[in-house]
Amino acid sequence: MDEQKTGLPQYPESFWLASAEIPSSGKLTADLSVDVAVVGGGITGITLAYLLAKEGQKVALLEAGRILTGTTGHTTAKVTAQHDLIYDEFIHHVGEEKARLYYDANRQAMDFIRSTVRELDISCDWAEEDAYVYTASEQNVAKIDKEWKAYEKLGIPGKRVNGIPLPIPGVLAAVAMTGQARFHPTAYLSRLVREFVGLGGQLFEETMAKTVEHGSPYSQVVTEDGHRVTCRNVASCTHFPFYGAGGFYFARMYSERSYALGVKRTQDYPGGVYLSADTPPRSIRTVSYGGEDLLVIGGERHKTGQGICTFQHYEALEKFAQETFGPAEIRYRWSAQDLTTLDKIPYVGRPVASERNAFIATGYRKWGMTGGTAAALLLKDLILGIRSPYEELYTPSRFHADPSVKEFLSLNADVAKHLIAGKLEWVRRDPEDLGNDEGAAVHVNGKRAGAYREPGGALHVLDTTCTHMGCEVEWNDGERTWDCPCHGSRFSFRGEVLEGPAKKPLKVIR
């Protein structure tokens, strides 16, 4: 990206964060002893903490920033086991039995959310609808047919149709999974947090877990402030695991960003949640808030740090909204990233077999509403010593040869490319050239650096070498962040870590 666009129109960044009363708490200020330390306040960590507290466990939930402001606060919140066109692929790559287990785990997760919403009478706009993957491309009709055959084989309730209820031009085929859902994730999870605290659970925000000192029977989670949480079990629900480097997760997952708009809806909506199988993909659902009906339009995915100018992603979504539903009045706009594993099945369980009391959950491939809930249900069983039919499917120490090897090689080739190409890049600009609210790669003393000038004129110049493994970070003009193309770490314009795997800030030059 050479030139940076500036002056992006401002909108509230996420419908879910703007429209929910999210509980808050103070930071951890002393050492603590509990049964389980759950780290990460997104859907996985909150659901797990709630489940364990219900079982009478003494649980501390540690969150580096504010709960729910990670990927969970920036989702599109379809609750479905229809994770794109995946079941035909799974049958071929991991076999029919595991493909069925994957479906069962996600359907059970959906059942759990549904029954919890009913049991606790949670106001979170839970609505059951059919989920569709559609195509308007001749080339992809065969893929839809294969997916429908996989549904029939696995006994997944659904239908193969030639059109969809939405007015999208040119749709040729679709596969529907019946009885799926959508909801308001932060309203649902805020209630689980209140229940967790009511059950005696302890929540600590602004508390970053730095490392785990493993022991038997007790381990210790050490926080950035140097406090220690002594526990029998520790679970990393931090999106990218904050420990378990022995499992080489940075080389076994990649991070993809996606974009979403909340657009005022002016036409009747026929129901359903939708995803296109075409390129670029589009995701559609509806939501009501404050007397207004909104469409949540998502899509425009790319590997973190490797996209075009962020502004253009939002423009593309706006254009699609206009072409499909008429004039688009934007109310909200956000983007976020999620991690994909080598075989597209999340890593949930012990990061390395020898660490019996340490667990991770990650890699939901943008399907973490059911995926994160399924992970929490599995981790609850593993922590309580209950056998689960899903343990082997999700075990993080698995290694499937196909398509893992190909992906593994291409991931590492990608990293090598960014390690080398970033260093050799010839940067023409000087920090002093930047206008207000502009960021770019610049040269300082003959070396590549990164600079951003705040709207008030203050200039921040950083070393663009990622503190994880040394790739060169790229400027993200939509969010005023530095994003790493290799494993998805993100840093603020001041250099602070926003998302791992990096743990140390970028070096400040001036």
Ligand X SMILES: Cc1cc2nc3c(=O)[nH]c(=O)nc-3n(C[C@H](O)[C@H](O)[C@H](O)COP(=O)(O)OP(=O)(O)OC[C@H]3O[C@@H](n4cnc5c(N)ncnc54)[C@H](O)[C@@H]3O)c2cc1C
| Contact residues: ligand FES, CB under 6 A | 250, 466, 468-471, 484, 486-489, 501-502
Report the residue number, 345 or 484, with the smaller CB distance to ligand FES. Answer: 484
Please report the DSSP string for 237-257 in residue order.
Answer: -SSS-SS-GGG-HHHHEEEEE
Select from ligand X, ligand FES, none the partner in contact with residue 336, using the beta carbon and a kind-dependent cut-off of 5 to 8 Å.
Answer: ligand X
Q: Would you tell me which residues interact with ligand X (CB under 6 A)?
A: 39-45, 62-65, 69-72, 74-78, 208-209, 237-239, 242, 258, 260, 298, 336-338, 364, 366-372, 500
Q: Residue 85 or 486: which CB sits closer to ligand FES?
A: 486
Q: What is the DSSP string of 150-188?
A: HHHHHT--EEEESS-SS--TT--EEEEEEEEEE--HHHH
Residue number of the CB closest to ligand X reads 368
Minimal distance, residue 144 CB to ligand FES, in Å: 36
Please state the closest distance from residue 478 (CB atom) to ligand FES, in A. 19
The CA-CA-CA angle for residues 466, 472, 476, to 5°, reads: 95
Closer of 281 and 470 to ligand X (Cβ): 281
Residue 237 binds which entry of ligand FES, ligand X, none, with Cβ cut-offs from 5 to 8 Å by kind? ligand X
Give the span between the Cα atoms of 333 and 321, in whole angstroms: 13
Q: Which residues of 120-148 are buried (b: 16+ CB within 10 A; e: fewer)?
A: eebebbbbebbbbbbbbeeebbebbebbb
Closer residue to ligand X, CB minimum distance, 63 or 477: 63
| Rounded CA Rg of the chain | 22
Q: What is the rounded distance in angstroms from the CA atom of residue 373 to the CA atom of residue 348?
A: 11
**Strand, coil or helix: 106:** helix
CB of 365 to ligand X, least distance (A): 8
Q: Please say which residue, 373 or 481, places its beta carbon nearer to ligand FES.
A: 481
Q: Which residues contact residue 27 at a Cβ distance below 8 angstroms, ignoring those fewer than 6 apart?
A: 204, 205, 206, 207, 225
CB atoms within 10 A of CB 280: 13
Partner from ligand X, ligand FES, none binding residue 62, C-beta < 5-8 Å depending on class: ligand X
Rounded-to-integer distance, Cα 162 and Cα 288, Å? 29
Nearer to ligand X, 26 or 65 (CB): 65
End-to-end CA distance of the chain: 23
| Contacts with 483 (C-beta within 8 Å, 6 or more apart), sequence order | 257, 304, 305, 473, 474, 475, 476, 489, 490, 491
Report what 43 binds from ligand FES, ligand X, none; CB cut-off 5-8 Å by kind.
Answer: ligand X
Distance CA 85, CA 135 (A): 11
Nearer to ligand X, 372 or 422 (CB): 372
Cβ closer to ligand FES: 196 or 249? 249
Q: From ligand X, ligand FES, none, which one binds at residue 441 (CB under 5 to 8 Å depending on kind)?
A: none
For residue 31 the two structure tokens come to: 């050492």
Minimum CB separation of residue 369 from ligand X in Å reads 3
Q: Decide which of ligand X, ligand FES, none touches 208; Cβ closer than 5 to 8 Å per partner kind.
A: ligand X
Q: Which does 369 bind (CB under 5 to 8 A by kind): ligand X, ligand FES, none?
A: ligand X
Comparison of 135 and 255: residue with beta carbon closer to ligand X: 255
**Residue 468: CB minimum distance to ligand FES, A:** 3
Dist. CA 414–CA 411, nearest whole Å? 5
- Per-residue CA distances from 7 to 311, 436, 483, 507 (Å): 10, 9, 20, 27
Among ligand X, ligand FES, none, the one that 484 touches (CB under a kind-dependent 5 to 8 A) is: ligand FES
CB of 414 to ligand FES, least distance (A): 11
- Residue 332 binds which of ligand FES, ligand X, none (CB < 5-8 A, kind-dependent): none
Q: Where are the beta strands (DSSP E) in 394-467?
A: 438-444, 447-453, 459-462
Half-sphere exposure of 346 (CA within 13 A, CB side): 37
Q: Which does 242 bind (CB under 5 to 8 A by kind): ligand X, ligand FES, none?
A: ligand X
Contact of residue 202 among ligand X, ligand FES, none (CB under 5-8 Å per partner type)? none
- Closer CB to ligand X, 209 or 461, in the complex: 209
Choose between 143 and 468: whose C-beta lies nearer to ligand FES.
468
Query: Rounded to whole angstroms, what are the CA distances from 210 to 254, 385, 396?
Result: 22, 27, 21
Give the strands of the sheet with 219-223, arranged side by side. 32-33, 228-231, 219-223, 209-213
Q: Looking at 183-218, which runs of residues are DSSP E strands? A: 202-204, 209-213
Shortest distance, position 254 Cβ to ligand FES, whole Å: 10
Query: What would the two tokens of residue 387 be?
Result: 């056998």
